[in-house]
Amino acid sequence: MDYKKIKTDTEAITRKLKDFDAPTGNIYESVSILSKRANQIGKDIKEELNRKIEEFATPNDNLEEIFENREQIELAKFYERLPKPTLIAIQEFMDDNIYYRNPAKDIDALN
């Protein structure tokens, strides 16, 4: 998923508890889903950033070769401006873009 194109708030806002409770029927289950999704998003963003930073890595680092790299600075600034993974996960949850299931509920439904 392209996290750069997601339209969400870049800062935390106050939300109604009922909005999180409605999809699952349990606020704690909703928070668990959000937490797991935010961890997935954070990991994906970190891996993408590390791949891009590797392009700037030099095999021989010594003090004379270290210099200010404008492209690397712009890349870092871009990733700093992205919404936090938690905010992206909340937006996906509110838009019903997260698939989740509870195996315990699936077993109860079969019985």
Q: What is the pLDDT of residue 110?
A: 63
Q: What is the pLDDT of residue 17?
A: 87
Q: What is the pTM of this model?
A: 0.78
Three-state SS annotation for 47-79: HHHHHHHHCCCCCCCCCCCCCCCHHHHHHHHHH
Q: What is the pLDDT of residue 109?
A: 62
Q: What is the pLDDT of residue 60?
A: 64
Provide the residue-wise pLDDT of the chain in tens; the chain has 111 residues: 676 677 787 788 888 888 888 888 889 999 999 999 999 999 999 999 999 888 877 666 555 555 567 788 888 888 888 899 999 999 999 999 888 888 877 666 665
Contact 30, 93 (CB under 8 A): yes
